[in-house]
Structure 1
Amino acid sequence: MSPEGKSLLNIIILGFGFMFMFTAFQTCGNIEQTVIKSFNSSEFHGSGYTSMSIIYGVFSASNLIAPSVVTVVGPQLSMFFSGLLYSGYIAMFIHPFTWSFYTASVLVGIAAAVLWTAQGNLLTINSTDSTIGRNSGIFWALLQFSLFFGNLYIYFAWHGKIHISDKDRQTVFISLTVISLVGSFLFFLIQRPEPESTPSEASESLLQTETSESSSVVVAPQGLCTQALEAFKKAIQLSITKEMLLLSVSIAYTGLELTFYSGVYGTCIGAMTLFGEEAKSLIGLSGIFIGIGEILGGGIFGMLNKVNQFGRNPVVLLGLLTHYVAFYLIFLNIASDAPIAPEEGTHLQAFITPSVQVALLCSFLLGFGDSCFNTQLLSIVGYIFREDSAPAFAVFKFIQSIMAALAFLYSNYLVLHWQLLIMVIVGFLGTLTFFTAEWVAMCRRRDSDYDSI
């Protein structure tokens, strides 16, 4: 197989591994607040929003050490062991206790930082400047199939159910745990790419490190410590570069809307008693439509790779406009107290008669807009910071996850309208700063090309 073919196969395997893992985890996050409300036990006093806030808070802090872990352990093993911790979090719901719930939340936060830093590293070393956009789209589309399969199962399993019984919960989470484990083991199929497909010196150095890890050569502990320290220092240095500071607002916005579409919006739909007995099963159907939007966006703007002639800015602008339409329709269609409604739901009506069709259209728009932002952010971070991909993606996830943690925290208290307003403001500012970062990156690349003549 040619070096380019091997690298493409690695990206596909990486995408399938994440698809299985996040079929389990994203479905878990989408339904956990609803499940917890239905869980009748004096031994359990947890909140799904609080758990996700802990996960993303720890995720954010752990991104400071994640490049060091990936450097020492290697991206492949880093993703495998992180995947096992994800499976443990999901398995905890089979019979949850408050202490195990929040302990697992902390462990998944650490695992997430390592997992996504390793993913960004593998994406970059298996890509060139000409294939980074395509590979980002392929990975993103495969990842977002996770929203389709898990939520399709939830839709059929919970159709017509007003209350989620213990048996319903246990059946779902045993299945999700097995699916998650399959994804973790898929990472072992990823092969080391040939040097020809990774032109940067930094990427070649990473490959040599991985080769030494898989051979019988033992690396001195002092050398590992030095590598880990250098990776940590590099992450700090990248976080204050002009490009990363500009991109940080866009990245922060993806953290806020990630919280909304992955945890809050499904809870809102499930709490709308005016949707009738199918309200709980609509959580799964909403997740499916989010996934369709994500997959379509990843396919159009990544896999087809037609947007390069126009740059990344039009795609990000399209994502913002798509989200604005979704936010306005949600404002009209969903009751303001839906995010914080009790188990029996809310009987309030928003500004129009609640419509299932409008709710599902908004789900699609949320997914499509999210794919616009994320495919372009993955592409531009890999493009600008090619020689320091692991620490760059660690900074990316640090910013995204700290904002997601903040959003899950305020989701316990803020009504829907305030949450929408926050996203409208941050999304507008993030789009402007992305435009500026793209312009700065293009100017620097032109200057570099001119100097090399």
Structure 2
Amino acid sequence: MRLDRNFINVMILSWGFMLLFTAFQTLGNIEKTVLDSIHNDDPNFTGEAYVSLAIVYAAFAICNWLAPSYISVTGPRVAILTGACFYVLFIASFLWPQTVLLYAGSCIIGLGAALIWTGHGQYLTENSDSSTMSRNTGIFWVIFQFSIFAGNIFVYYEFKEPKIDASQRTFVFSVLTGVGCFGTCLLVALRKVSHGLVLGEAEGVSSADKELRIPEPARKKPLLVAWNALANALTLFITPRMLLLSLMFLYTGLLLTFYSGVYSSSIGFTKALGEFRKSLVGLSGIFIGIGEVIGGAIFGICGTKVSRVCGVWSVVIIGFCVNLFAFITIFLNLPNDSPFTDTDSPAYITTSSILAMAGSLALGFGDACFNTQIYSLLGTMYVQQSASAFAVFKFCQSIATAISFAYSTVASLYTQLLILAISNVIATVTFCYVEHKMRTERENSHSESDLTND
């Protein structure tokens, strides 16, 4: 049986991202713990993980406005490959821990993240049509989330001791750099899109998309192309519908900070979890990955059937409830000062590693509920502006992530959980409202079309 080229592109994209982010997400998960161990060995090293990650996402947010311009000239494949190379350079920099190198690398990877994620959004949309967008999004999400498994299983077995020494760090980051290089090499194999049915021809393009569509400029004028792409992204951002959706984008950024950096560090610093608490950092990441994969499989790959039966809004409500459960269990299970350093402080209940892993599972599952629906909705609503739409999404997500990493240096666990809970409510309400409006417009459009045909 001959496989469709577009489907092969989606698979290469998915596995390439999985390998690259096996390296990066593992690094992000252990960065706070590892940098503290470096400081204990070398007091001259003053690099702070939360500051580094705040710089990463601040640069990411700023560069998101430039990414559509770059992609409009080079195309999404070149942007993806360029971003991947920046990721590998950042991971490799941990083999030579220097404070200046850490923060400089954080700026570089912010640019790389803007290129790779905006390019990914456009490339995924170009390789999908109205009948495959949800499926392709789900396939990408499930394969991508396997990155959490591989890296964190590796960390779980490597970091068995409470103290992490230099030889362990060198070995871990050498392996992560190698995995990142392999993923980048796989992304080189991405091929040009085989254009069939354009997404939106069957379902219709949103009115906002039609109003903001920019004519295809001549390829001989790359500066004009780049300028139009930037103007298009800025114009799209201030539309009422995108401003409402941005509240959900912001929430996913806050959630990303919490489950990728703060929560894992809190588990590793809680002495009540025993002498193997450092290895629980990796185990927590594994359970987050399990939740992501289950959510992606149910609401991504099978998303069309689920949405037809239950509606997109129901998937978002499930994510809301599961995340709220996670916040309550974490509030009860871990001490308030656990994000900062090793602590003997008591929690509201007897601290349990099982409940901690349940919180990880719920965080991952809820995150998958939100992200699969965001990708599917943007890919359907903004067909002709996919690069701009995903740039706005990643801008909002990364600016929220940068801000939350910045306040994570001083905000206690309970304060962060309160912010997340409030944001969860606001994001769910606004997203469901926009999805309802879009569904109503589509149904009315179909009804008018039927009446015209009659």
Q: TM-score per shorter chain, which class? A: over 0.9
After superposition, the C-alpha distances for 1:72-131 in whole angstroms (9 at most, x for unaligned) are 111111111111111111111112111110000000001101110000001111111221
Aligned residue-pair number: 434
Matching residue within 411, 433, 440 for 2:437: 440
Indicate if the aligned counterparts of 2:200 and 2:380 stay in contact, CA closer than 8 A. no
Partner of 2:141: 140
Could you tell me which of 381, 385, 392 is aligned with 2:382?
385
Distance in structure 2 (CA, Å) of the matches to 1:52 and 1:329: 26
Residues 61 and 114 in structure 2, CA contact (< 8 A), matched pair in contact too:
yes
Q: 2:240 aligns with which of 232, 239, 242?
A: 242
Q: Which residue of 1 aligns with 2:224?
A: 226
Residue of structure 2 equivalent to 1:128 = 129
Gaps of 5+ in 1: 204-208, 210-217
Report the equivalent of 2:257.
Answer: 259
- Kept in 1, the 8 Å contact 2:130–2:200? The answer is no
1:107 aligns with 2:108: yes
Instruction: Give the drift of 1:233.
Output: 0.7
Partner of 2:405: 408
1:361 to 358, 362, 368: 358
- SS of the residue 2:410 aligns to: coil
Residue in structure 1 matched with residue 6 of structure 2 by the alignment = 7
Distance (whole Å) between structure 2 residues aligned to residue 448 and residue 226 of structure 1: 35
Residue-by-residue CA offset, 1:341-379 (whole Å, 9 max, x unaligned): 2xxx00111011110100011101100000000000111
How is 1:150-161 mapped onto 2 (pairs within 5 angstroms)? 150-159=151-160, 161=161
Distance (Å, rounded) in 2 between the aligned partners of 1:382 and 1:347: 48
Deviation at 1:219, TM superposition (A): 5.1
Once residues 273 and 122 of structure 1 are traced to their aligned partners in structure 2, the CA distance between those partners, rounded to angstroms, is 45
* 1:23 paired residue number: 22
The equivalent residue for 2:169 is 169
2:345 equivalent in structure 1 = 348
Deviation string for 1:136-159 (max 9, x for gaps)? 111111111000000000001112
Residues 320-355 of structure 1 show CA distances to partners (whole Å, capped at 9, x for unaligned) of: 1001111100001101000112xxx00111011110
SS at match of 2:339: helix
Question: Quick one: structure 1 residues 387 and 447, their matched pair in 2 at CA, closer, same or farther if it must change by over 3 Å?
Answer: farther
Secondary structure at the aligned position of 1:76 is classed as helix
Please give the alpha-carbon distance, in whole angstroms, between the structure 1 residues aligned to 2:393 and 2:284: 27
**CA offset digits 1:215-268 (Å, max 9, x no partner):** xxx953xx1111111110110111012221111111111000000000000000
Query: What RMSD over aligned residues (CA atoms) do the two structures have, in Å?
Result: 1.8
Any idea what SS the aligned residue of 1:350 has?
A: coil
- Aligned partner letter, 2:355: V
Please state if 1:180 is matched with 2:180: yes
Distance apart, 1:448 and its partner CA: 3.9
Once residues 179 and 74 of structure 2 are traced to their aligned partners in structure 1, the CA distance between those partners, rounded to angstroms, is 25
Which residue identity does 1:354 align to in structure 2?
A: T
The answer to whether the Cα contact below 8 Å between 1:252 and 1:399 also exists between their aligned partners in 2 is yes
TM-score by length of 2: 0.92
Q: 1:200 to 1:429 in 2, by over 3 A?
A: closer
Report if the CA contact (8 A) 1:253-1:430 is conserved.
Answer: yes
What is residue 332 of structure 1 aligned with on the other side? 332
CA distance in 2, matches of 1:365, 1:413: 25
Moved over 6 A (4+): none
AA aligned opposite 2:257: T
Displacement of 1:197: 3.8
- 5+ residue gaps, structure 2, are 210-215
Q: Distance in 2 between matches of 1:449 and 1:304?
A: 24
Separation of aligned partners in 2, 1:390 and 1:166? 42
Counterpart Cα distance in 2 of 1:197 and 1:90: 39
TM-score, L = length of structure 1 = 0.93
CA offsets 1:188-238 (integer angstroms, 9 cap, x no match): 2222222214356999xxxxx9xxxxxxxx953xx1111111110110111
Identity among equivalent pairs (%):
42
Alignment partner of 1:275 is 2:273: yes
